[in-house]
Chains A and B, each alone.
With several copies, the nearest count.
Chain A
Amino acid sequence: MNVVYFAWVRERIGLPEETVDTDAATVKDLIAELSAREDRYAAAFADTTALRVALDQELSDFDAPLDGVREVAFFPPMTGG
């Protein structure tokens, strides 16, 4: 599964994109798995209220299942316009 990061999430984790081999059932499970892996993930995912998630380039939520999903993106609330 492709996992991508933007803005300060990308900076905190230290990379824009990576391939993650996971059996996580939901976004929450994936976050727990990554956070357990290294401190920089734990720091980036510490406050999920400050985070947004997109599954295959569609905004989603942390309870969403990852079944069949090819790309998960984590980023802060958007500030376009």
Chain B
Amino acid sequence: MAVRVQSDPFDAGAELNSFARDRTGVGAVVSFTGVVRDTKGDLQEMLIEHYPGMTESAIAKIADEAVQRWALADVLVIHRYGPLKPGEPIMMVATAAAHRAAAFEAADFLMDYLKSRAPFWKKEVTAQGAAWVAAKDADEDALKRW
């Protein structure tokens, strides 16, 4: 299990390959990449703030929970902070398992929990100014699925 919290960009494809490489007993690898989305075509930058220390432990706790609930060979979580440009990857989750259902469900679960339980906050900067992204009720509701 690997958890990385970093300001540096990462290469999702290279991470996927290195995560999937040289595994025995694995039939399914699922990855999720979150990308800075320019909803209205006016986004200059996205700033991601986090809570150093708590971030790492909160993500590790969520990943541990996934490992306990599903038969996983491995889990990878990478999450960036700092200033990001539209189209850049914000974060990535990957799961490896013998069977596809476990890999899919665990990745979906990890995303739902990272979204609402890992201490990150997004701020969008446009020509009109900067505004914090509001949490969605739907994101909190998504946790009830698990």
Give complex CA distance A75, B121 in Å.
Answer: 9
**Cα distance A20–B139 in the bound complex, in angstroms:** 33
Query: Is A6 touching B135 in the complex (CB atoms < 8 A)?
Result: no
Could you tell me if A6 and B53 are in contact, using CB atoms closer than 8 angstroms? no
A73 within 8 A of B: yes
- Tell me how far the C-beta of B113 lies from the nearest C-beta in chain A, rounded to whole angstroms: 9
Closest to B54 in A: A57
Contact A6 B121 (CB under 8 A): yes
CA distance A79 to B34 in the complex (A): 12
| B contact residues around A65 at 8 Å (CB) | none
The reply to whether the CB of A68 lies closer than 8 angstroms to some CB of chain B is: no
Within 8 Å of chain B (Cβ to Cβ): is A7? yes
> Across the two chains, which residue of chain A brings its CB closest to B48?
A80
A72 to B127, CA, bound (A): 35
Given contacts A6-B121, A7-B132, contact A79 B115 (CB under 8 A): yes
> How many interface residues does chain B have, given as a range?
20 to 34
Chain A residues within 8 Å of chain B by Cβ, number = 17
Chain B 97-140 near chain A by CB (<8 Å), digits 1 or 0: 00010000000000100111111111100000000111100011
Contact yes or no, B116 A57, CB < 8 A: no
A residues 52-81 touching B (CB-CB < 8 Å): 54, 57-59, 73, 75-81
Chain B residues with Cβ below 8 Å from A80 are 48, 50, 79, 91, 114-116, 118-122
Given the contacts A57-B57, A81-B115, A76 and B51 also touching, CB distance less than 8 Å: no
A75 adjacent to B116 (CB under 8 Å): no
B122 touching A79, Cβ below 8 Å: yes
Chain A residues near B50 (CB-CB < 8 A): 80
Q: Do A81 and B119 contact each other (CB < 8 Å), given the known contacts A6-B49, A7-B49?
A: no
Bitwise, B18-62 to A at CB < 8 A (1) or not (0) is 000000000000000010000000000000111101100110000
Annotate A1-29 by CB proximity to B: 1 below 8 A, 0 otherwise. 00010111010000000000000000000
Q: Which 4 pairs, one residue from A and one from B, show the smallest C-beta to C-beta distance?
A: A80-B120, A77-B135, A81-B115, A57-B54
CB within 8 Å of B: which residues of A?
4, 6-8, 10, 54, 57-59, 73, 75-81
